[in-house]
A and B are shown apart, each in its own frame.
Chain A
Amino acid sequence: EAQVTQNPRYLITVTGKKLTVTCSQNMNHEYMSWYRQDPGLGLRQIYYSMNVEVTDKGDVPEGYKVSRKEKRNFPLILESPSPNQTSLYFCASGKSYEQYFGPGTRLTVT
């Protein structure tokens, strides 16, 4: 089954404790991206990747890192999480004309 998977789905952590949210797709897509969704602000792009070893900043990259060492995986790294990074995070992958979202990761930073 073609899909985008994210782990974990839910995470509660404390300020400053490094964490990684994994994202994997099995559709051989070159394009992958991370978004955060907050009430009243909609979906905002954090980082995106057009291909392996190519990553670019989206609209809200501060406090986040990504890597794209292989086509199927695109992890999101929070080196020192802060409460303002409490949000719902979505990973997506796709071709030029369609995109698929993962199920989301709800992160709470206390």
Chain B
Amino acid sequence: GQNIDQPTEMTATEGAIVQINCTYQTSGFNGLFWYQQHAGEAPTFLSYNVLDGLEEKGRFSSFLSRSKGYSYLLLKELQMKDSASYLCAVRELNTGKLIFGQGTTLQVKP
């Protein structure tokens, strides 16, 4: 079956580092996406991992371990504007379908 798990909510302090985890079980794997979504707005693409390892893009990094069915999004030097929902999504290999987790709502406090 298909299952993607993320924590529902997280809180962190401005300037700190936060790690948002995502575990998945899907019928074949063809890439993992992270998106940011502010309330009432469209999701915005953050990162894509298809091979194991760490992808760094400015303050954001994303890690993937295919053998463990595990990914994380790392946000450094948190800013108030980083308060948003972060969505993990996995693409199935055979169908090309994109399956989303419920999302993690991150609140950054001063």
Contacts and interface: CB of A to CB of B under 8 A. Distances in A.
Contacts of A102: 42
Interface residues of A, number: 25
A44 B98 CA distance: 9
Interface of B: 30-31, 33, 35, 41-45, 48, 50, 87, 89, 95-103
B101 A97 contact: no
User: By DSSP majority rule, is chain B's interface helix, strand, loop, or mixed?
Assistant: loop
Interface of A: 31, 33, 35, 40-45, 48, 50, 56, 58-59, 90, 94, 96-104
B73 to A, nearest CB: 15
22 contacts: A42-B101, A42-B102, A42-B103, A43-B43, A43-B87, A43-B89, A44-B100, A45-B98, A45-B99, A48-B98, A56-B95, A56-B97, A59-B99, A90-B42, A96-B30, A97-B50, A98-B48, A99-B33, A99-B45, A100-B45, A102-B42, A103-B41
A35 B103 CA distance: 15
Contacts of B89: 43
Contacts of A99: 33, 45, 98
A46 to B, nearest CB: 11
